Structure 1
């Protein structure tokens, strides 16, 4: 039987060890990653609502027509205290906002209400049926040290039942290693996207869950599409020379080779690399029919500017990123191809199609319709790349409370194990937590960039957006299999 976790045991087990860990050196630099499917962009503007002040008490009820009251008629009552760890200030506040807004939207959907508004750091309570979710929001500053410090305080001083969040993978990994493991408190990571969180024995555990999609899912679904749905048979792989870029390249390489595509070259470069003409010429000389770039927004504009300005025979593949990266990439395309962008210009550029974890216009179902409407009405922006995963995290937590009949963290974690989440933006039963590593698998889509339509001109701040879905990759095919050499987690 699973040992019952209490706040008292969590506080006792963290104790001196947790405090001492705060003085340790940082593991990594918290480098944000997006581009071909990582955690977040670098150098984005992080507009609006950057976490100042107290969010207040916002009680959701079941009277609002924008949501669907599901699971509210239950005998379960009580309070669940969740420590929320997200970057709520600085240039990358937008990632924290996405993570938090998606989570609030998931709880609101379960309550049949609109999500709470511009919640910042502090305390906010959302009521779903007879259960109060007390959210203690803390600013991680998109770095490992503040995330660890905040997580330690939440467990030791506030006695939270569970932790949720982190947009930075290095922050999430630090929280797992220095707080979750020592305090034995459940943690739902997201949108932090490092595959290692749920694929490495250093981090995965019975207490660590993730509904949000990860870098391996980006690369494996993109590689499968290139291999099976295009005429490309020879690919050159480029990536940033650190964990994110290597993860993208390694997963693309594995899937492409397994599906008969030849890798004609690999090259890793530092972030911000600008001398692309020679490297792109090398790919042409190697006979590449396609290239993949595993980079953040610090490098993508340089790569795309050289690619668009050159005369190359191959296409460029990768992943659709967030609004911030799309703004920069769209501006780069306009500067090279001319403004305004047209569908013909974009098609002629040979950029894409790209994979996407989630964007508001990739899923057509009642849950997503309600989500898009309520999210856009509340936050004046359409749901972005990270929001489906964090919506699903909240939806899953409430479903686990109902299934376990308990508001205790250990019981919630036990119910999450192997759960198929009923209410998700990707549709009913759209995510399933894999029992071998507690990573939720879900469908991915592939779409080409198109000019942003008039319908979304005011709610999507970029000149390009994903077009209609061209292909869908099942969750089973997108995630790392249990028997893969890349899966070093067995629970």
Structure 2
């Protein structure tokens, strides 16, 4: 395996050009932006396209990934073996149709070598479809996490140095049963692909280790009035042990504001969070009563190894804000690409060669910890179960348990074919009750698998 060390930071120095393309209603302004970006891209030797939401309610997901990319390039003074690196940024507005247009712009107008993005779940499957239609260009998602991007809809030119919605939460479902002792959960989640994956991963770990029911309440994105949902949660509180919020962004902040207004701590002893619920931008907006929230992720700001400490210091110096998992993703993705470029035979757009190099990497100096890639192009990495603590007057995530080298298949590494033979995750699959869940599981995994779970009292 190729091992990635800190030598990238010692590469030669030169100037860096970043140009930003933001979709405008005014066609004249947009055309001017297009011409400006094309000219900037032509001036460089290597051109990286970055696409994601740079405006609107999901702007954090695109902007922070792009800031992570900038930091990785700043560490090498924006040059590679004497070649200047240009970055062209496109605003997808978290819209799948806009994403396709922006990807086409990057490919046809800017002739980029590689695309980084998108960064939201809603855009993920659109990006996977685009990759299948454009197999001669490498695309590496920024923060987008639908599992089928690197599973049922995988294509050779899409490689993800990030995570999948299920990968980060399989073992959290197990933890909630075995360590917290909860058997019945009420889950509130945004109604689209990424939260469906989160729900599916949680249910698998939860049911296969003794959980009984996950009652799901779906709501549209950009929901800021949770009164009716709070009323429903109050009405069913006698039947459920805890609430899991499967959300993110402004919706999650609004949920917790409503939670406090309704005095929900009197009804439920515990809040559990999906992967994005305890992210730093949310911790900065909620009250100290958020302390005690459990969640799981492939990164934690509290990791105390040298690479993370340095990453956080450098990011704060460059951008004037705290780094989080989104920024980490842009940073790591750009560094993987840079190392692949170093190893190529002069052609930075040769997808087959880039894929071969990346899949053979062992990244040992990431702020999140070491990671590798599976044969489908998805990162294999440690997953951290975390609890929000109040430290020196600030909320932060403390790691309480680590699951090492978790693949996108989680505990199903020996059952990849059976896992992918199941329907893709959606709002109604897997089922909400253990009884229905195991009926479906028997159809795809067989009774022997279920017998083994019973014999071992869950996962080994």
Further displaced range: 185-194 or 256-265: 256-265
1:467 aligned residue:
397
Which residues in structure 2 correspond to 1:98-109 (within 5 Å)? 98-109=64-75
1:446 aligned residue:
385
Q: Is the 8 A contact 2:121 2:193 kept in 1?
A: no
SS in 1 for 2:395: strand
1:315 pairs, out of 266, 270, 293, with 270
Q: Deviations over 1:235-263 (max 9, x none)?
A: 33333333333222222111111222222
SS in 2 for 1:475: strand
1:106 is displaced (CA, Å) by 2.6
1:302 is displaced (CA, Å) by 5.4
2:212 aligned residue:
262
Which residues in structure 2 correspond to 1:132-143 (within 5 Å)? 132-143=84-95
1:189 aligned residue:
141
Kindly tell me the number of residue pairs found equivalent between the two proteins.
372
Q: Deviations over 1:81-104 (max 9, x none)?
A: 222213233444332221111122
1:274 aligned residue:
227
Return the alpha-carbon distance in structure 2 between the equivalents of residues 223 and 303 of structure 1: 22
1:378 is displaced (CA, Å) by 0.7
Return the alpha-carbon distance in structure 2 between the equivalents of residues 86 and 270 of structure 1: 20
Q: Deviations over 1:396-419 (max 9, x none)?
A: 112222333442332222211243
2:374 pairs, out of 434, 452, 460, with 434
1:210 is displaced (CA, Å) by 0.9
Return the alpha-carbon distance in structure 2 between the equivalents of residues 301 and 182 of structure 1: 38
1:390 aligned residue:
330
Q: 1:131 to 1:221 in 2, by over 3 A?
A: farther
1:94 aligned residue:
60
SS in 1 for 2:282: helix
1:159 aligned residue:
111
Further displaced range: 377-386 or 223-232: 223-232
1:432 is displaced (CA, Å) by 1.2
**1:403 maps to 2:343:** yes
Q: 1:180 to 1:264 in 2, by over 3 A?
A: closer
Q: Deviations over 1:110-148 (max 9, x none)?
A: x3x6xxxxxxxxxxxx11344443322222222223321
Q: 1:146 to 1:160 in 2, by over 3 A?
A: same
Q: Is the 8 A contact 2:54 2:63 kept in 1?
A: yes
Query: Normalising by the residue count of structure 1, what TM-score does the alignment of the two structures yield?
Result: 0.67
Q: 1:134 to 1:375 in 2, by over 3 A?
A: same
**1:290 maps to 2:245:** no
Return the alpha-carbon distance in structure 2 between the equivalents of residues 81 and 180 of structure 1: 21
Q: Is the 8 A contact 2:163 2:408 kept in 1?
A: no
Q: Is the 8 A contact 1:395 1:424 kept in 2?
A: no
SS in 2 for 1:215: coil
Further displaced range: 135-144 or 299-308: 299-308
Q: Is the 8 A contact 1:83 1:136 kept in 2?
A: yes
Q: 1:228 to 1:103 in 2, by over 3 A?
A: farther
Return the alpha-carbon distance in structure 1 between the equivalents of residues 294 and 63 of structure 2: 27
1:35 aligned residue:
none
SS in 2 for 1:208: coil
2:151 aligned residue:
199
Q: Deviations over 1:315-360 (max 9, x none)?
A: 12113444443344x1xx4xxxxxxx4xxx555xxx522223324x
Further displaced range: 310-319 or 375-384: 310-319
SS in 2 for 1:163: strand
2:363 aligned residue:
421
SS in 2 for 1:448: strand
Indicate the structure with greater helix content: 2
Gaps of 5+ in 1: 1-52, 58-77, 114-125, 334-340, 455-463
2:166 aligned residue:
216
1:303 is displaced (CA, Å) by 4.2
Q: Is the 8 A contact 2:140 2:159 kept in 1?
A: yes
Q: 1:81 to 1:488 in 2, by over 3 A?
A: farther
Gaps of 5+ in 2: 1-35, 423-460
2:123 aligned residue:
171
SS in 1 for 2:398: coil
Q: 1:264 to 1:197 in 2, by over 3 A?
A: closer
Q: Deviations over 1:360-398 (max 9, x none)?
A: x32222222221111110100111121222211111112
SS in 1 for 2:169: helix
1:188 is displaced (CA, Å) by 0.6
SS in 2 for 1:148: helix
Q: 1:211 to 1:465 in 2, by over 3 A?
A: farther
Return the alpha-carbon distance in structure 1 between the equivalents of residues 320 and 216 of structure 2: 41
Return the alpha-carbon distance in structure 1 between the equivalents of residues 162 and 177 of structure 2: 25
1:312 is displaced (CA, Å) by 2.2
Q: Is the 8 A contact 2:136 2:350 kept in 1?
A: no
Q: Is the 8 A contact 1:293 1:317 kept in 2?
A: yes
**1:229 maps to 2:229:** no
Q: Is the 8 A contact 1:148 1:179 kept in 2?
A: no
1:356 aligned residue:
297
Return the alpha-carbon distance in structure 2 between the equivalents of residues 408 and 269 of structure 1: 41
Q: 1:91 to 1:237 in 2, by over 3 A?
A: closer
SS in 1 for 2:167: helix
1:247 aligned residue:
197
Return the alpha-carbon distance in structure 2 between the equivalents of residues 306 and 142 of structure 1: 25
SS in 2 for 1:375: helix
